[in-house]
């Protein structure tokens, strides 16, 4: 099975920057996107042979997630509660052998005014993922808005304590991984440096590869030996994030 995840930073804008060329080339079984920034009816995608599942934020031009898949799910769930549902941040598809959970994690904001909310979110999501994992394995993907280790961003020392690299956010990622989950990219490439998935729009930051790895495929531990590929497609433009790809025998 081939899985793709991409924060498109607005699907309408990304469609004008080569989204469909990449989508068609990948021919993925599951294609998850985050930060769709659209409402119901604002985008009509012609995706033959794909089922489409959209979770829209109530606020216009904000957040939102979607999954496009060749495989009809057993069940579909949007959000994990009232707070998560209003921002359209989570979609869960259930299949015979696994759950696929597509997530756009809230940003703590530059001044960390949303850090407390973010920590509550992390705790609730971890409990949700662990409950799913009790039933069948989980493939959890998306823009998780955290660089877990110093190896996951270019200028680690200068960013300690900043949004996306606070002790609280990194600690919650550690707790999740220690509770039965595996970061697929680090499983295959534990020491690989200079591989990022997000770059600021500031002048020539992407060209100089001053980035952060904040997009992930995280799997239940019992699936890790079934991972065959975990790639970062940093040559693909169209967003401030690049797509990531997972292949696994599930």
Task: Please say if 104 is a catalytic residue.
Answer: yes
Positive or negative torsion for Cα 104, 9, 163, 193: positive
CA dist 91 and 73 (Å) reads 12
Q: Are strands 65-69 and 51-55 parallel, antiparallel or unpaired?
A: antiparallel
Q: Which of 133, 140, 143, 216 is catalytic?
A: 143
Q: How far is CA 34 from CA 8, 50, 60, 131, in A?
A: 6, 17, 15, 23
Q: Which of 22, 50, 56, 104 is catalytic?
A: 104
Within 116-235, strands assigned E span 138-143, 181-183, 198-199, 211-212, 215-220, 227-232
Task: Please say if 143 is a catalytic residue.
Answer: yes
Within the chain, strands assigned E span 2-7, 30-34, 51-55, 65-69, 75-78, 90-94, 99-104, 138-143, 181-183, 198-199, 211-212, 215-220, 227-232, 244-248
Tokens of 237: 């433009």
Catalytic residues: 104, 143
């Amino acid at each position: 099975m081939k899985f793709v995840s991409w924060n498109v930073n607005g699907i309408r804008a990304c469609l004008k920057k080569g989204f469909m060329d990449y989508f068609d080339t990948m021919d993925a079984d599951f294609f998850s996107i985050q930060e769709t920034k659209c409402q119901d009816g604002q985008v009509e995608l012609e995706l033959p042979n794909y089922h489409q599942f959209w979770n829209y934020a109530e606020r216009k031009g904000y957040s939102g997630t979607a999954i496009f898949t060749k495989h009809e799910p057993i069940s579909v769930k949007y959000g994990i509660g009232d707070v998560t549902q209003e921002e359209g941040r989570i979609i869960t598809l259930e299949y015979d052998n696994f759950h696929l959970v597509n997530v756009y994690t809230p940003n703590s904001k530059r001044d960390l005014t949303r850090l407390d909310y973010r920590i509550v979110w992390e705790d609730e999501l971890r409990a949700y993922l662990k409950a799913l994992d009790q039933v069948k394995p989980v493939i959890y993907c998306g823009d998780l808005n955290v660089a877990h280790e110093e190896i996951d961003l270019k200028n680690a020392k200068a960013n300690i304590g900043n949004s996306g690299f606070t002790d609280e956010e990194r600690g919650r990622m550690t707790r999740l991984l220690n509770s039965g989950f595996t970061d697929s990219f680090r499983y295959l490439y534990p020491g690989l440096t200079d591989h990022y998935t997000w770059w600021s729009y500031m002048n020539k930051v992407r060209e100089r590869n001053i980035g952060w790895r904040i997009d992930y495929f995280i799997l239940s531990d019992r699936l890790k030996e079934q991972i065959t590929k975990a790639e970062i497609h940093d040559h693909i433009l169209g967003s401030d994030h690049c797509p990531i790809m997972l292949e696994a025998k599930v």
